[in-house]
Amino acid sequence: MGIVSPGFHGRRRGNTMLPPGQYEEEDFPVLSAGPTPRVPTDRWQFTITSETGERYSWSWAEFQALPQETPTVDIHCVTRWSKFATTWKGVSLDTLFEDVETAADYAMIHSYGGYTTNLPLEDLLDGQAWVAHRYDGEDLDPEHGGPARLLVPHLYFWKSAKWVRGIQLMPEDSPGFWEAAGYHDRGDPWREERYQGD
């Protein structure tokens, strides 16, 4: 992929759809900084921890019993591929945060396997983020983050932590794995926020 036939994708190639510096990818590349952790759903747990140490946890069964949404979204990787109209199933972060009491402005996402990424809490709320467990009508592949991953499509895809296990709320911002390595703190693809200083 990468060769563009003008006309075939013209409708979706308008500037309004493809962020600057991105190309359209038809496949679904796998990008993982380490080995794929295997997390059986009977051991899976998802926990939001507030800045005061309050814990809100869901087992796999409890998570599945929450209201489910089926977002269709475009995704944008900082390595310059974008994929249009990906279809997911999962739980909105608004649902997971419903009973969470917090005054924190920042969140650190933690994954099984040790990956982390940081976001302002407001980027996770108001219909902008999900914990997704199905992709394209199937259970999410382990390579793509199964049993469940964060999905934050309005930011570069490194913010969409695979094998997500929890969220730590923080009063102060703090860098995650790629952010500490020089990637942008927020990563808005429409502003082309790839690296620190962009």
Ligand X SMILES: Nc1nc2c(c(=O)[nH]1)N[C@H]1C(S)=C(S)[C@@H](COP(=O)(O)O)O[C@H]1N2
Binding site for Mo ion (CB under 5 A): 31, 77-78, 158
Residues in the interface with ligand X (CB under 6 A) total: 18
HEC per residue, 40-95:
CCCCCEEEEECCCCCEEEEEHHHHHCCCCECCEEEEECCCCEEEEEEEEEEEEHHH
Cβ-contact 107, 168 below 8 angstroms: yes
Binder to ligand X among 111, 118, 128, 168 (CB under 6 A)? 111
Nearer to ligand X, 54 or 143 (CB): 143
Tokens (6 digits) for 44: 């899976």
Distance CA 154, CA 17 (A): 12
Cis peptide before 67, with omega less than 30 degrees from 0?
no
Site string for ligand X, 31-70 (x = CB under 6 A): xxx-------------------------------------
CA nearest to 177, candidates 187, 189, 192, 169: 187
Minimum distance from residue 79 beta carbon to Mo ion (Å)? 5
Q: Which does 113 bind (CB under 5 to 8 A by kind): Mo ion, ligand X, none?
A: ligand X
Q: Which of residues 68-97 bind ligand X (CB under 6 A)?
A: 77
Q: Which does 81 bind (CB under 5 to 8 A by kind): ligand X, Mo ion, none?
A: none
Where on the chain is the footprint of ligand X (CB under 6 A)?
28-33, 77, 111, 113, 115, 144-145, 157-158, 160-163
